[in-house]
C-alpha cells in the first residue's frame, strides 16, 4: 500500500510506500492517516522527540498502539516518520 502526498506550497507530489501505511490502515479500520495541525498539544508532544516536526502532519497508528507522525522535514527536504520515545 502506498500514499500520495502533495505539498501545498510547492505542489510537489511524493509517492510514499512503507509497510507502516498498510499496518496503520489495518489498525485504523481502513483509513491509514489522520491530518493533524501543528499548533496542537499532540504536535507539541511529538516535537519533544522530533524537533524537525514544524508543520501539519499525518498521524498513523502501529500495532503496538503507539501513534507515529509522518511529516515533511524541511531541513532534509523529505518526508520523515517521528517515533515517540514511549514504551507500548
β-pair type (2-6, 13-17): antiparallel
For 77, residues 6+ apart whose C-beta sits below 8 A from its C-beta are: none
Flag the least confident range among 3-17, 34-48, 57-71. 3-17
Q: What is the pTM of this model?
A: 0.85
Beta bridge partners of 35: 58
| 77 has a pLDDT exceeding 80 | yes
Handedness of CA 25, 29, 30, 34 (dihedral sign): negative
Element (H, E) at 42: helix 41-49
What CA–CA distance (Å, rounded) separates 26 from 11?
A: 29
Cell numbers standing for residue 68: 507515529
Cell numbers standing for residue 60: 498513523
Q: Per-domain residue ranges for the chain?
A: 2-82
| 87 has a pLDDT exceeding 70 | no
| 45 has a pLDDT exceeding 80 | yes
Cell numbers standing for residue 46: 511529538
Amino acid at each position: 500500500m502506498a500514499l500520495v502526498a502533495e505539498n501545498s506550497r510547492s505542489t510537489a507530489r511524493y509517492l510514499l510506500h512503507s509497510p507502516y501505511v498498510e499496518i496503520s490502515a489495518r489498525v485504523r479500520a481502513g483509513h491509514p492517516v489522520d491530518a493533524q495541525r501543528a499548533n496542537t498539544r499532540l504536535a507539541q508532544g511529538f516535537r519533544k522527540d522530533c524537533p524537525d516536526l514544524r508543520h501539519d502532519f499525518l498521524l498513523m497508528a502501529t500495532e503496538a498502539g503507539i501513534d507515529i507522525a509522518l511529516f515533511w522535514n524541511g531541513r532534509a527536504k523529505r518526508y520523515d516518520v517521528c517515533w515517540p520515545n514511549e514504551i507500548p
